[in-house]
Structure 1
Amino acid sequence: MDAYNPCLDCGICCTHFRISFYWGEGDDAPGGFVPAGMTEQLTPHLRCMKGSNELPRRCSALGGEVGKQVFCTIYENRPTPCREFPTHFEDGTPNPKCDELRAGIGLPPLPHLPMPHAA
């Protein structure tokens, strides 16, 4: 059974940040994986997800209703910033930015995660 993923009932980060990344992550570049049609060019070296560079922000890959039930339509091919934004840090402490954004849409703070004991 998979662990609970708080991102599946939140999604606020997908409506708060400009999701920018190196152009070579686009699937129109050798080895790229992010669907290029869902991106826009920012500079010669940077792209962002469509919808995340304008107000109100909403990443073009976000499906569902923020704060209720959401999903990423390109989860396996999402860009690096999405892969690297942690809900929790290595010590199990919740990311305070997540808690701040969650509070803004009426969601409770994230719990501390229990850390496995070293063997």
Structure 2
Amino acid sequence: MNPCLSCGACCAAFRVTFDISELESEGGTVPDGVADLETPSLCRMRGTDYARPRCIALVGEIGKSVHCGLYRERPNPCLEFAPLAEVGQFSDACNLARARHGLPPLET
């Protein structure tokens, strides 16, 4: 089983900033309602800019059972983070996020 489906730590550890062109209103796939404007050309996923970040799209309990509420529409930073886990390679960022939530590191 993919460990991401029981983790979700990355979605509650980092700011997710992406180009405004990824918003639906700009021709992209990310629903406008889940993002905040950061600069005239950048957006961020709501909830990821807090002292204790948690992406608005994260559904479930971290470390137990989670999923992305807009998986098919997620922005590029999320797309770029995911493939490592899908092939069984876990980045330092993945394990840093897990540590922030008291979860043990994943081995490649």
Q: 1:48 aligns with which of 44, 47, 67?
A: 44
Amino acid at match of 1:5: N
- State the identity as a percent: 44
CA distance in 1, matches of 2:6, 2:80: 19
Counterpart for residue 7 of structure 1: 4
Q: Kindly provide the amino acid, as one letter, of the partner of residue 24 in structure 1.
A: S
- Whether the aligned pair in 1 keeps the contact of 2:14 and 2:53 (CA below 8 Å) is yes
Would you say how many aligned residue pairs link Structure 1 and Structure 2? 107
Per the alignment, do residues 86 and 74 of structure 1 end up closer, same or farther by CA in structure 2, a change over 3 Å counting? closer
Matched residue, 1:60: 56
1:5-27 deviation digits (Å, cap 9, x = unpaired)? 21111111111111000001001
Equivalent residue, structure 1, for 2:80: 84
Deviations 1:4-53 (A, max 9, x none): 221111111111111000001001112x1001111000000000011111
Residue 35 of structure 1 corresponds to which residue in structure 2? 31
Unpaired segments ≥5 residues, structure 2 = none
Task: Give the counterpart of 1:21 among 4, 18, 22.
Answer: 18
> Is the CA contact 1:20–1:49 (under 8 Å) kept in the aligned structure 2?
yes
CA distance in 1 between counterparts of 2:81 and 2:63 reads 18
Taking the aligned partners of 1:87 and 1:33, their CA distance within structure 2 comes to 19
Structure 1 residues 49-58 or 15-24, which shifts more? Answer: 49-58
Q: Is the 8 A contact 2:13 2:100 kept in 1?
A: no
Q: Is contact 1:14–1:59 with CA below 8 Å preserved after alignment?
A: yes
